Amino acid sequence: MKKKDFILISIVLLISALLLLFYNFIGKQDSDRVLVTIDGKEYLTLSLTEEIQLTIDAGNGKTNVLVIENKTADITDASCPDKLCVSHKSISKNGETIVCLPNKVVVQIIKSGEKGLDGIAGSIFWH
């Protein structure tokens, strides 16, 4: 391996570390809204404080079951083949995200009053 290889590795690791630091810095405030979007369009927003179980209908028989309890949101069942969104841990902090790529469903925690998908922090599973 050449010296430039190690420079490449260092640069990529450095960028990764900086991004992680940046995400942690901007996105850990307490927040209380759950935003659900399908194919980039807002489907509904819910309060994180309510206790609710609902089925997100993404069309064409595609569904994700969203459960909100104890100030955390979780997808407990889905119609997608690999169910990565189901195995994702529940989310509660601002910017945290669960993505179901086959159904194009994004569940995200946002600050109350915040409308769009500004937060990029959180954790995401995709397919």
Partner 1 sequence: MYKNVAKYGFFIALAMILSYIEILIPFNLGIPGAKLGLANLVVFLLLYSEGVKSAAIVSFLRILLVGFTFGNLFSIFYSIAGGMLSLGVMALCQKSKLFSKIGVSMAGGVSHNIGQILAAAIVLQTPAVFYYLPFLLIAGLVTGGVIGVLGRQILKSVFTGTGL
Among 12, 44, 52, 54, binds partner 1 (CB under 8 A): 12
Using alpha carbons only, give the angle 117, 118, 120 rounded to the nearest 5 degrees. 95
Residue 12 carries which side chain, given as an amino acid letter?
Answer: V
Give the nearest distance from C-beta 50 to partner 1 in angstroms: 22
Give the nearest distance from C-beta 108 to partner 1 in angstroms: 6
Among 28, 71, 93, 104, binds partner 1 (CB under 8 A): 104
Give the length of the chain. Answer: 127
Distance CA 75, CA 126 (A): 13
Using alpha carbons only, give the angle 96, 99, 102 rounded to the nearest 5 degrees. 180
What DSSP character marks residue 90?
Answer: P
Q: Binding marks (x or -) toward partner 1, 34..73, rule CB under 8 A?
A: ---x-xx---------------------------------
Distance CA 44, CA 27 (A): 22
Q: Provide the binding-site residues for partner 1, judged by CB under 8 A.
A: 1-2, 4-5, 8-9, 12-13, 15-17, 19-20, 23, 37, 39-40, 84, 87-88, 95, 97, 99, 101-102, 104, 106, 108, 117, 119-127
